[in-house]
């Protein structure tokens, strides 16, 4: 491995249940605003869960042909919006043809959405090439004229962190000047909702949508499915300094591991989760006492939240009583393939605003989830180092560490 200098995040694009820009999402996360609402995109009469964390329609990016943009489907508009937003934010949009820009999209199960259109709604009998994960990457690359390598990463709920980890390596190796990396999901379809409902994974707290996602709470009963994602521009600190780019944070470390245990249940001893966290902290050259905030994966399922707490206790040791922890899924729901990315966004907000977003709806803590919780309201405090966990179905574990840039 060739590590030349620090890797910075210099641009952000977002389409989330709590806002379609970084600033709006950061404001709402720190305000404790829920993005969960009744699901109205299709009939939910036969579904156990009738709520979701949906996004508002995205706007037309600056300089984009309106007719061409509106000709894309809603998922493609979301992706193009975030790419354009991130490149504009980083100051790379106008010169994108002259920059080696890599693209890594963390995606999960998008075939559910596209096959559903074709097979259940009378779509084309022949599958169109634009309908799989890789073709979404190819379409973006071609439409925007991106000349660097491009690929999709599919590791369920950890996809965004895997994309960022790979993107950092591309920049470090000098294969690209900058890399667009993040994660997205368009999960709000009848098949996706029924599948998760049949697993018993979804909350049935339909009468009070904003209170349904309640990580670490004693009365949690499952997650709320969501849609959206975020995309980040990664580049070397030296290059970013030369061009006067803004630094949201240093992407300081990442750790990846696998359970190899069960399709949807985490390893009982939580050791693989703990290993990913230890690798990330070692990569970032930090120890538990250096952490100022940890964004937990905690999805609001009884089994998953407890498994993560076991891993946190194993890794943090005595620091478990000092490191503030929250789960922003209490506000955003669970975006599956987009979850890791918007939780990196939450960490950027904590570093920039010097405040920790809360776990809302944490009314009575599960006795087995004894952590230093930030409940109900954001907590102003010094934040120099933040970590984010994302653990996916199939045992895909990830942790990333971000540092504030002086």
349: CATH = 3.40.47.10
Task: Tell me, yes or no, whether 113 and 213 share the same domain.
Answer: yes
Residue 68 φ/ψ, nearest 5 degrees: -65, -40
Residue 153 φ/ψ, nearest 5 degrees: -115, 125
Confidence of residue 1 (pLDDT cuts 50, 70, 90): very low
Torsion of CA 107, 113, 115, 118, to 10 degrees: -140
Task: Tell me, yes or no, whether 278 and 356 share the same domain.
Answer: yes
Domain of 181, in residue numbers:
7-242
End residue of a domain, out of 214, 242, 270: 242
Residue 404 φ/ψ, nearest 5 degrees: -70, 135
The answer to whether residue 395 scores a pLDDT higher than 90 is: no
Give me the catalytic one of 47, 297, 309, 369: 297
Neighbours of 302 (CB within 10 A): 14
pTM: 0.94
Task: Tell me, yes or no, whether 141 and 230 share the same domain.
Answer: yes
Report the C-alpha gap between 201 and 225 in whole angstroms.
9
Confidence of residue 217 (pLDDT cuts 50, 70, 90): very high
Site of tokens 């294969």: 175
Establish if 72 belongs to a structural domain.
yes
As given in the structure block, the two tokens for residue 110 are 């998008």
- The predicted model gives 41-61 an average pLDDT of 96
Establish if 300 belongs to a structural domain.
yes
Task: Tell me, yes or no, whether 228 and 284 share the same domain.
Answer: no
pLDDT of residue 173: 95
pLDDT in tens, 229-266: 999 999 999 999 999 999 999 999 999 999 988 877 88
Could you give the number of structural domains in the chain? 2
Is 309 marked active-site? Answer: no
Intra-chain end-to-end CA distance of the chain, in Å: 26
End residue of a domain, out of 242, 267, 295: 242
Confidence of residue 197 (pLDDT cuts 50, 70, 90): very high
Q: Which of 101-105, 108-112, 330-334 has the lowest mean pLDDT?
A: 108-112
Write out the H or E segment, with its range, that includes residue 15. strand 7-15
Is 179 marked active-site? Answer: no
Give me the catalytic one of 47, 334, 396, 399: 334
Is 297 marked active-site? Answer: yes
Give me the catalytic one of 82, 157, 179, 347: 157
The answer to whether residue 141 scores a pLDDT higher than 90 is: no
């Amino acid at each position: 491995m060739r590590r030349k200098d620090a890797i910075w995040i210099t641009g952000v694009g977002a389409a989330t249940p709590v806002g379609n820009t970084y600033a709006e999402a950061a404001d709402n996360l720190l305000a404790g605003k829920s993005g969960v609402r009744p699901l109205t995109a299709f009939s939910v009469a036969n579904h156990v869960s009738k709520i979701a964390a949906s996004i508002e329609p995205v706007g037309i990016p600056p300089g984009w042909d309106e007719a061409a943009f509106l000709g894309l489907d809603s998922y493609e508009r979301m992706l193009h919006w975030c790419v354009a937003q991130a490149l504009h934010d980083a100051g790379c949009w106008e010169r994108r043809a002259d920059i080696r820009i890599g693209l890594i999209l963390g995606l999960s199960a998008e075939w559910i959405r596209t096959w559903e259109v074709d097979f259940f709604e009378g779509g084309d009998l022949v599958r169109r090439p634009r309908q799989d994960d890789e073709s979404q990457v190819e379409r973006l690359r071609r439409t925007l004229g991106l000349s660097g390598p491009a690929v999709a990463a599919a590791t369920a709920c950890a996809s965004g962190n895997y994309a960022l980890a790979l993107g950092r390596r591309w920049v470090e190796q000098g294969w690209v000047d900058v890399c667009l990396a993040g994660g997205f999901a368009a999960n709000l379809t009848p098949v996706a909702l029924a599948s998760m409902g049949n697993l018993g994974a979804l909350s049935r707290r339909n009468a009070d949508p904003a209170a349904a996602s309640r990580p670490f709470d004693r009365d949690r009963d499952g997650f709320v499915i969501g849609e959206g994602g975020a995309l980040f521009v990664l580049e070397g600190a030296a290059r970013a300094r030369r061009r006067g780019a803004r630094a949201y944070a240093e992407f300081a470390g990442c750790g990846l591991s696998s359970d190899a245990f069960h399709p949807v249940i985490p390893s009982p001893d939580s050791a693989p989760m703990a290993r990913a966290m230890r690798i990330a902290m070692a990569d970032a050259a930090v120890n538990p006492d250096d952490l100022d905030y940890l964004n937990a994966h905690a999805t609001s399922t009884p089994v998953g939240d407890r498994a993560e707490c076991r891993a946190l206790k194993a890794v943090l040791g005595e620091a478990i009583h000092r490191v503030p922890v929250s789960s922003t899924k209490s506000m955003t729901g669970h975006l599956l393939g987009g979850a890791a990315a918007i939780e990196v966004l939450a960490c950027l907000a904590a570093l920039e605003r010097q405040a920790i977003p809360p776990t809302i709806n944490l009314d009575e803590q599960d006795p087995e989830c004894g952590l230093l919780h930030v409940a109900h309201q954001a907590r102003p405090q010094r934040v120099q180092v933040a970590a984010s966990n994302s653990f996916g179905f199939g045992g895909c574990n990830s942790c990333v560490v971000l540092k504030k840039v002086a």
